[in-house]
Amino acid sequence: MGKVFKIEYPVTGKIAALKLLDPNPFLLSLLGKEDIEEMFTREAVTMAGIRHPNIVDILDFDRFDGKLYYIMSFYCNNLGLMIGEGYETDHESRIVPVERALFYSIQTLKGLSRLHEDGIIHRDIKPFNLLVTDFDTVKICDFGLSKLRGEIRKDPESLKIGSPHYAAPEQEKDPDSADARSDLYSAGVMLYRMLTGRLPMKPVASPSQFNPDLDKDWDDWFLRAVRRKPEERYASAGAFVEALETVKGMWLQKKERICSAPSLLFGEHDTVKAPFAIRSKPEKISRDKASETFHVDHLMRPFHFMDNSFIRLSPDVIFDEATNLLWQVSGTRFPVNWENAHQYIGRLNRDAFHGYKSWRMPTINELLSILSPLPKGEGHCADPIFDQTQKWLWSCDRCTFISAWYMSLDLGFISFNDRSSYYYVKGVCSKP
């Protein structure tokens, strides 16, 4: 129904997102201009009327050249991009570590709890409608399909409300029958997908079949959320949160048991020796050349991991004997855009950080050399080599003239985004 644009305010240069009402001709013929404008206006009013850390903020609403629009806060990440969900939704996606999956789900449910408190049913909870801020806060967006509790809209039967695989069965059958439990079903599908990399197809398989970090005893906690009958699901978002907090506690206990037990050789993975030299010069590499250039799979994860030999030279610098590269342990204290990332590297050289003046932004190939596989079993016990604040790292490589490549250190993949997006950067240099 609408198109979203990234905009820049004059003078201040502040980046925001603008959603423009621009329905396709079929929807226009189905509902009519007046109904569509009423739905769009209500979407903006609904979002603007709620103050909650897990609901996106609306900044302005107006009409331009005959078309309605509203402006909201801009965030460069969403959960759909993070798990690698594509247009063909039923394809495999990236698995999210247990703690992070619970973390994102609990935030989503807290946002839903706030909506449901006001009698608002979202009806389109899915990964792409969950924005993720620079500081890992989930923000629910896109209220275009929302309705008030008990509201009957009488939309045309041919108009589908919700997204395939995420919409609850009762909502697909009768959109007006959707209630809070329908939103909880969608949140349950999203959690299942994060934990397993799959959608809960009928018959729904136990999540523990696909993720060795999950205990069979936990399956019912997850499966209850995706029961086909609403009365068999959690009664409220708050009840769902309580259940996930319980699972989180059990997970932390399991991790503690694993880490206190004798070594069982968990988390083995394929490693490779460093090539003669890892590419250090920035390049412009298009998306269709990424697999060949970076040696990654269709979900942008590396096929192999470096056989590193890290030596801590100081609290601020680590040396990898395998690649002859010096790395900052941390990097920028806060996320920065791509241009500011370059400026930060310039300051490292002006200050001769750790005695060197040859610091540079890493290439994607260099970043991939410090990436480890997602931890399993004893892998959760290892002390991290690098500061865990800097989870999303810029590279010096461009994808297009306006976008650059970055790496997720904790989720284990690479991708690209507009250079005005905000990620961290850490300096690298070759040891003389």
DSSP per-residue letters across 52-109: -TTBPPEEEEEEETTEEEEEEE--SEEHHHHHT--SSTTS--PPPPHHHHHHHHHHHH
Strand partners, 357: none
134 domain residue, yes or no: yes
Residue 276 has a pLDDT of: 53
Q: What is the pLDDT of residue 235?
A: 95
- Specify if 410 maps to a domain: yes
Q: Does 224 lie in the same domain as 330?
A: no
Both 171 and 286 in a single domain? Answer: no
Q: Report yes or no: 407 and 367 within 8 Å, Cβ to Cβ.
A: yes
- Which CATH number is 293's domain given? 3.10.100
Please check whether residue 266 lies inside any domain of the structure: no
Which of 125, 88, 91 shows the shortest CA–CA distance to 107?
125
Q: Which DSSP letter does residue 233 get?
A: S
Helices (H), 201-325: 219-223, 237-260, 290-294
Q: Within this chain, do residues 40 and 111 fall inside the same structural domain, yes or no?
A: no
CB 407 within 8 A of CB 423: no
| 119 and 200, same domain (yes or no) | yes
Q: What is the pTM of this model?
A: 0.90
Q: Are 239 and 100 found together in one domain?
A: yes
- Are 401 and 297 in the same domain? yes
> Tokens 């997204």 identify what position?
163
Residue 265 inside a domain? The answer is no
Structure tokens at 95: 């698995």
Using the Cα atoms of residue 104, residue 110, residue 116 and residue 120 in order, give the sign of their dihedral. Answer: negative
Q: Which of 241, 260, 279 is the last residue of a domain?
A: 260
Which residue, 226, 260, 294, sits at the end of a domain? 260
pLDDT at 264 (0 to 100) = 43
- Asked if residue 243 and residue 358 are part of one domain, the reply reads no
124 catalytic per annotation: yes
Q: What range defines the domain where residue 61 resides?
A: 2-73
How many domains is the chain partitioned into structurally? 3
Together in a domain, 143 and 174: yes
Domain assignment of residue 376, yes or no: yes
**Do both 400 and 326 map to the same domain?**
yes
Boundary-marking domain end, from 235, 260, 285: 260
List strand residue ranges (DSSP E) for 305-349, in order: 305-306, 310-312, 317-320, 325-328
Does a structural domain hold residue 235?
A: yes
What sign has the CA pseudo-torsion 47, 135, 81, 422?
A: positive
**pLDDT under 70 in the chain at which residues?**
1, 147-162, 261-276, 377-382
Instruction: Tell me the longest C-alpha to C-alpha distance in the chain.
Output: 72
Strand partners, 130: 140
Distances (CA, A) of 33 to 30, 47, 68, 145: 9, 21, 11, 16
Which candidate in 57, 124, 219, 397 is catalytic?
Answer: 124
pLDDT of residue 59: 93
Residue with tokens 């399956």: 219
